[in-house]
Amino acid sequence: MCNTVNEVIEILINRGITVATAESCTGGMVGKTITDFSGVSSVYLEGVITYANEAKIRLGVLGETLKSHGAVSRETAKEMAECVRKRAGAFVGISTTGVAGPGGGSREKPVGLVYMGISTEKETKTYALRLFGDRDTIRRKTTKLVFDKLLEDFLNGED
């Protein structure tokens, strides 16, 4: 993870790309990873942990989205990323929501099911992940994949 994270942070700082995060299952791990780097305060605007549905609603996720699709859904991840981006005035909004376990899973939404969202003004992409391992492993894998997808789908080739 370290090489990708280093590369992403360097690109964000060098290009002045601002970021905000809204995290549920990762509990702030994405924001912590970003703030491990000196100088990142110029681009990391804010991070929120929206663990409870009420917190997701305060962020701007529609109650109807949560009722229809649940907290662990592509739709919720999309709205979380868009809402945190708009709220912070950031270029990029990142979200994570899922079932890290060991409990809380169901047949429809098993432990290890995670959705990530990455939003810019141009587009929002969501990613469905099916991860395996214990709670910490699922959270660490999700965090790594946030940076992988940010680099792969949003930062490569941008000037």
Residue 159's pLDDT is 46
pLDDT one-digit tens code per residue, 61-95: 999 999 999 999 999 999 999 999 999 999 999 99
Domain ranges of the chain: 20-36+43-155
Which residues fall within 8 angstroms of residue 54, CB to CB, at 6 or more apart? none
Q: Is 80 exceeded by the pLDDT of residue 45?
A: yes
| Amino acid symbol at 15 | R
Q: Is 80 exceeded by the pLDDT of residue 54?
A: yes
Alpha-carbon distance of 3 to 82, in angstroms, equals 27
Residue 93's pLDDT is 98
Instruction: Write the CA distances from 142 to 2, 15, 65, 94, integer angstroms.
Output: 14, 25, 22, 12
Choosing among 3.90.950.20, 3.20.20.70, 3.50.50.60, 3.40.50.2020, the CATH entry for 20-36+43-155 is: 3.90.950.20
pLDDT-based confidence at 157, cuts 50/70/90? low
pLDDT-based confidence at 105, cuts 50/70/90? confident
State mean pLDDT over 23-50.
98
Instruction: Write the CA distances from 1 to 14, 99, 128, integer angstroms.
Output: 20, 21, 19
Q: Is 130 exposed, middle or buried (0-12, 13-18, 19+ CB in 10 A)?
A: exposed
